[in-house]
Chains A and B, each alone.
Chain A
Amino acid sequence: MKIRLLFDGDGPRIDSAEGPDAAPPLDSLPALVARLRAAGETLRRTAGDDLVGLLDAAARLWAGPEHPLAGFLRRHRLGFLPLWLRRGNLETIAARSLRGHPEALDGFVRLSPADPMLVRAQPRGLVVHWLAGNVPVLGMLSLAQSLLSKNANLMKVARASAGMLPHLLASLAEAVYTNRRGETLSGRILSDAAAVVYADRSDAEAARELSLAADARVAWGSLEAVETIANLPRRHGTEDVIFGPKTSLAVVGAERLGGPEAARRVAAALAADASAFDQLGCNSPHTVLVERGGAVDPAAFARLLAEAMEVEYRRAPLEQADPAATSDVLTARAEYAMRGQSYGSRGMGWTVLYADEDAGLAEPCFQRTLFVRSVADVFQVVPLCSPHTQTVGLAVDDRRGPLAEALTARGVQRCPAIGAMRLYETPWDGLFLMDRLVRWVSAA
């Protein structure tokens, strides 16, 4: 077993750009777990509002253009993170997740005035997070919700993005918040309750020990990754929250294609969704189904979408082309150039593909590749979806309600407007994360 310690209460052990091999081996997992549990107890005694205040204070710092982290956030396209960590958003998440009673994190409450039962949300204890390499920021989102739920946290990161989370946690430790009672709190309350480790995926013993340490397990990743984690031994009563692989798509109704300007607005919003996280998120669209009958037909929409993708690309270029995807993208580009329409950047920055005869969903190519396909009616999208469909972005007007009803009944998790697909919201993948990271207890 070889676990490397990348971050704990004493600070980061590697630079943000370094790989995990630069970090020292972890001396003792039980000792680290004991330290985390002790820090979790401090967290449990801290008011939930103070924890929100600390995260909000960190977010305010990071939003400043002069802050050392500003460049880091920009480089890693984490600009939304300071907004996501602001008080308003966190309070909304906590309220939604905890049955409208986030104060249940601090003590017993009644869920309604007439209800005689007192309930309280106690933290689970130690939450072990397995993070995916494709969208590493997800780790920060699940960590923040776990901290707000007053849990200690052990984060197992992916090799590809090992340095990111330690860097963010080090900065979180520097946050300072003064509450309404005039008490000044340090971000160390939060960062002491988190540690970041790395173990090779082939290290079965390390994976087993991490799993056995958990009171709750949160896993993000591919089917292979999450199934491996789910099959690890665990203690009885351990809660599992699995965010497995899903795919997303977008639907554009004819009513939003009344003219070039209206269509351009949809295309711009869609391009932003497809370019975020370099299309690696499970909420990233790959196929765009465009309803025929508008003034702008699907083929013309594909052209407008290509223009919008180029604008996004110039604003935020593809971070790094994946050689494994390059071949697929080039093949798709050539195929569509031969039998349809193929638009693309000079290199591997983005691609938009269209052919009249294509139907259904395309096999994702990634690398900011969008397949535009025509449908006679937006409701034809419904049978294409399943519980493996994460997000269907909608650009429709009056039919939004019935369409969302049909799609979600089919298994779709989210139906936001196109332009909001890339936002990480609560609920996510059909659950309220904070709700799963607490134990609801009662008293007379």
Chain B
Amino acid sequence: MTARRPRYKCLGYGNEKVGFLTDELLNLPPFGVAAASKAAALVPAVREELVHHFEHCPPFQRWCRHEGFDPRGDLEDLSAVPPLPAGVFKRLALCSVPQAQIVRTVTSSATSSQVPSRVPLDAVTRARQMRALGAILAHRLGGRRRPFLVLEAPPEAAAASDREISARVAGMRGYLLAATETQHVLRPDGGRAALDREKLVETVRQWTSGGQPFCLLGYTSVLYQQVLRPLAQQGFHIDLPDSTVLLHFGGWKRLAEQAVDKAALGALAADVFGLAPSAVCDIYGFTEQLGVVYPDGPDGLKRVPTYAEVIVRDPQTLEPLADGRTGLLEFISPLPHSYPGVAVLLDDLGRIVPGSAGPDGAEARALEIVGRVPHAEIRGCGDTLPPRG
């Protein structure tokens, strides 16, 4: 493969965008694309973005040169791309477009280190994130938008125009793009949010009587601490329709500290809402690669979508590991255009589950998140997506 002329002109450099290979990639469905077809679309798109960052983000170019990697040359194997450790986004302000094009900066929660990742977004990146997230969510929810019962307090109006928002807020807004209607069932209560049980019951009654499938959506720790645990302690139970999906995101660190795992959360959801384990959907994602999310499938496994690839690396040698073996997770996606987050190495541990097709028979690699490296900082947010406008 020889170096190709970019088919676009860079934004902000006196040129106008013509089209990106990533846009073509996003025209593909999120799942069910044959491996060869996926690689044929994904690898050139990744390379195109790497070239963009190489040419417009001098620190990234120094990183590539340090690693002996030149994206303008051949790229056949994504494992040859040197991944940036996610922690770099806490230490350095990395940007690949002029500052004037940054429409929003998203910050991670920085649960442990107190130093958040800062990810600058331009319109190109933001639009890609919306498309990717919308497609992945639609696939998980059966292609239909639904009413969302939001397990949060209503946001303050001013936050919508903030140039800097947290990944948690951005994530919530992103997921709500799939909503036909939203009802927030937590209310502010002396500095923290408390469940409005009457509103929850009434909203569920209305939507259920209308025969409309709906979703519950919440931050994982809030779902447990503010909703499931208190309701279970009160002996409260309400049977939600079988079509209901409970989406939660944000990671497990706070719950892990309380020895609450996925099974325990699922058991509580069954007790309180009568939901089957397949209806409780943990969504994995991270600030440094917004838009691509990894929801649990009905079988409890996460699938790698068309728009990304996952490489599991040995923590000692950093060499790629065979499917089935547990190591550090590297995520590759061409969505980031405004910052060089195309190949990111996290301190989350996981493995590719060998020999597992999608639950609907669609082709996709299955991913299991095993946990975090001990003492490493939890990733803050399931995923984020900036609001429109």
Using CB atoms and an 8 Å cutoff, list the residues of chain A in contact with chain B. Answer: 320-321, 323-324, 326-328, 330-331, 333-335, 337-339, 342, 346-348
Count chain B residues whose beta carbon lies closer than 8 angstroms to a beta carbon of A. 26
Tell me whether A323 and B315 are in contact in the complex, defined as CB-CB below 8 angstroms, given that A331-B85, A337-B67 are known contacts: yes
B5-13, B55-63, B249-257: which lies at the interface: B55-63
B86-94, B141-149, B209-217, B269-277: which lies at the interface: B86-94
In the complex, the answer to whether A327 meets B85 with C-beta atoms within 8 Å is yes
Of B67, B84, B315, the contact of A326 (CB 8 Å cutoff): B315
Of B67, B317, B376, the contact of A324 (CB 8 Å cutoff): B376
In the complex, the answer to whether B63 meets A327 with C-beta atoms within 8 Å is no
Name the distance in Å between A360's Cβ and chain B's nearest Cβ. Answer: 16
B318 at the interface (CB under 8 A from A): yes
- Alpha-carbon distance A337/B62, docked complex (angstroms): 7
Name the distance in Å between B65's Cβ and chain A's nearest Cβ. Answer: 8
- Of residues 299 through 353 on chain B, the ones whose CB sits less than 8 Å from some CB of chain A are 315-318, 328, 345, 347, 349
Which residue of A is nearest B87, CB measured?
Answer: A331
Tell me whether A338 and B60 are in contact in the complex, defined as CB-CB below 8 angstroms, given that A323-B373, A323-B374 are known contacts: yes
In the complex, the answer to whether B373 meets A339 with C-beta atoms within 8 Å is no
- Alpha-carbon distance A321/B319, docked complex (angstroms): 14
In the complex, the answer to whether B66 meets A347 with C-beta atoms within 8 Å is no
- Alpha-carbon distance A151/B108, docked complex (angstroms): 54
In the complex, the answer to whether A324 meets B88 with C-beta atoms within 8 Å is no
Q: List 3 A-B pairs, minimum CB-CB distance, nearest first.
A: A331-B87, A338-B59, A327-B347
In the complex, the answer to whether A335 meets B91 with C-beta atoms within 8 Å is yes
- Alpha-carbon distance A347/B314, docked complex (angstroms): 9
B375 at the interface (CB under 8 A from A): yes
Name the distance in Å between A441's Cβ and chain B's nearest Cβ. Answer: 47
In the complex, the answer to whether A338 meets B85 with C-beta atoms within 8 Å is no
Please give, as numbers and ranges, the residues of chain A lying within 8 Å of B317 by CB-CB distance: 346-348
In the complex, the answer to whether A334 meets B328 with C-beta atoms within 8 Å is no
In the complex, the answer to whether B63 meets A334 with C-beta atoms within 8 Å is yes
Please give, as numbers and ranges, the residues of chain B lying within 8 Å of A342 by CB-CB distance: 66
Please give, as numbers and ranges, the residues of chain B lying within 8 Å of A337 by CB-CB distance: 62-63, 66-67
Using CB atoms and an 8 Å cutoff, list the residues of chain B in contact with chain A. Answer: 59-60, 62-63, 66-67, 84-88, 90-92, 315-318, 328, 345, 347, 349, 373-376
Most central of B90, B347, B349 by chain A CB within 10 Å:
B347
Name the distance in Å between B287's Cβ and chain A's nearest Cβ. Answer: 15
Name the distance in Å between A84's Cβ and chain B's nearest Cβ. Answer: 30
In the complex, the answer to whether B315 meets A321 with C-beta atoms within 8 Å is yes
Tell me whether A330 and B345 are in contact in the complex, defined as CB-CB below 8 angstroms, given that A337-B63, A339-B92 are known contacts: yes
Pick 20 A–B contacts, CB within 8 A, sort by A. A321-B316, A326-B315, A326-B347, A326-B373, A327-B85, A330-B87, A331-B87, A331-B88, A333-B85, A334-B63, A334-B84, A335-B88, A335-B91, A335-B92, A337-B63, A338-B60, A338-B92, A339-B92, A346-B317, A348-B316
In the complex, the answer to whether B316 meets A347 with C-beta atoms within 8 Å is yes
Tell me whether A334 and B315 are in contact in the complex, defined as CB-CB below 8 angstroms, given that A323-B374, A324-B373 are known contacts: no
Using A323-B349, A326-B316, A334-B63 as known contacts, list a sample of 5 further A-B pairs with CB atoms less than 8 Å apart, ordered by residue number in A.
Answer: A323-B373, A324-B376, A326-B315, A326-B373, A348-B315
Tell me whether A327 and B87 are in contact in the complex, defined as CB-CB below 8 angstroms, given that A321-B316, A348-B316 are known contacts: yes
Please give, as numbers and ranges, the residues of chain B lying within 8 Å of A339 by CB-CB distance: 59, 62, 92
In the complex, the answer to whether A330 meets B316 with C-beta atoms within 8 Å is no
- Alpha-carbon distance A337/B58, docked complex (angstroms): 11
Please give, as numbers and ranges, the residues of chain B lying within 8 Å of A324 by CB-CB distance: 373-376
- Alpha-carbon distance A331/B63, docked complex (angstroms): 12
Of A328, A331, A334, A347, the contact of B318 (CB 8 Å cutoff): A347
In the complex, the answer to whether B374 meets A334 with C-beta atoms within 8 Å is no
Of A321, A327, A346, A347, the contact of B376 (CB 8 Å cutoff): A327
Name the distance in Å between B357's Cβ and chain A's nearest Cβ. Answer: 30
Please give, as numbers and ranges, the residues of chain B lying within 8 Å of A331 by CB-CB distance: 85-88, 90-91
Of B63, B86, B373, B374, the contact of A338 (CB 8 Å cutoff): B63
Most central of B316, B374, B376 by chain A CB within 10 Å:
B316
Please give, as numbers and ranges, the residues of chain A lying within 8 Å of B59 by CB-CB distance: 338-339
Most central of A321, A331, A334, A346 by chain B CB within 10 Å:
A334
- Alpha-carbon distance A346/B84, docked complex (angstroms): 15
- Alpha-carbon distance A330/B85, docked complex (angstroms): 6
Please give, as numbers and ranges, the residues of chain B lying within 8 Å of A326 by CB-CB distance: 315-316, 328, 347, 373
- Alpha-carbon distance A321/B373, docked complex (angstroms): 12
- Alpha-carbon distance A333/B318, docked complex (angstroms): 13
Name the distance in Å between A10's Cβ and chain B's nearest Cβ. Answer: 36
Which residue of A is nearest B64, CB measured?
Answer: A337
- Alpha-carbon distance A324/B373, docked complex (angstroms): 5
Tell me whether A338 and B347 are in contact in the complex, defined as CB-CB below 8 angstroms, given that A327-B376, A348-B316 are known contacts: no
- Alpha-carbon distance A311/B91, docked complex (angstroms): 30
Please give, as numbers and ranges, the residues of chain A lying within 8 Å of B66 by CB-CB distance: 337, 342
Name the distance in Å between B16's Cβ and chain A's nearest Cβ. Answer: 30
- Alpha-carbon distance A328/B60, docked complex (angstroms): 18
Name the distance in Å between A319's Cβ and chain B's nearest Cβ. Answer: 11
Name the distance in Å between B69's Cβ and chain A's nearest Cβ. Answer: 11
- Alpha-carbon distance A348/B314, docked complex (angstroms): 10
Tell me whether A334 and B88 are in contact in the complex, defined as CB-CB below 8 angstroms, given that A326-B347, A339-B59 are known contacts: yes
Which residue of A is nearest B375, CB measured?
Answer: A324
Please give, as numbers and ranges, the residues of chain B lying within 8 Å of A347 by CB-CB distance: 316-318
Name the distance in Å between A29's Cβ and chain B's nearest Cβ. Answer: 30
Which residue of A is nearest B348, CB measured?
Answer: A327
Name the distance in Å between B224's Cβ and chain A's nearest Cβ. Answer: 24
Name the distance in Å between B344's Cβ and chain A's nearest Cβ. Answer: 11
- Alpha-carbon distance A337/B82, docked complex (angstroms): 12
- Alpha-carbon distance A273/B57, docked complex (angstroms): 38
Name the distance in Å between A159's Cβ and chain B's nearest Cβ. Answer: 13
Most central of A331, A333, A346, A347 by chain B CB within 10 Å:
A331
- Alpha-carbon distance A320/B376, docked complex (angstroms): 17
- Alpha-carbon distance A33/B347, docked complex (angstroms): 45
- Alpha-carbon distance A324/B375, docked complex (angstroms): 6
In the complex, the answer to whether A338 meets B376 with C-beta atoms within 8 Å is no
Please give, as numbers and ranges, the residues of chain B lying within 8 Å of A330 by CB-CB distance: 85, 87, 318, 345
Please give, as numbers and ranges, the residues of chain B lying within 8 Å of A328 by CB-CB distance: 87
In the complex, the answer to whether A327 meets B92 with C-beta atoms within 8 Å is no
- Alpha-carbon distance A328/B92, docked complex (angstroms): 14
In the complex, the answer to whether A334 meets B316 with C-beta atoms within 8 Å is no
- Alpha-carbon distance A335/B349, docked complex (angstroms): 22
- Alpha-carbon distance A331/B84, docked complex (angstroms): 8
- Alpha-carbon distance A330/B91, docked complex (angstroms): 12
- Alpha-carbon distance A346/B319, docked complex (angstroms): 10
- Alpha-carbon distance A328/B86, docked complex (angstroms): 10
Please give, as numbers and ranges, the residues of chain A lying within 8 Å of B345 by CB-CB distance: 330
Please give, as numbers and ranges, the residues of chain B lying within 8 Å of A323 by CB-CB distance: 315, 328, 347, 349, 373-374, 376
- Alpha-carbon distance A320/B60, docked complex (angstroms): 30
Which residue of A is nearest B61, CB measured?
Answer: A338
Name the distance in Å between A316's Cβ and chain B's nearest Cβ. Answer: 16
Please give, as numbers and ranges, the residues of chain A lying within 8 Å of B373 by CB-CB distance: 323-324, 326-327
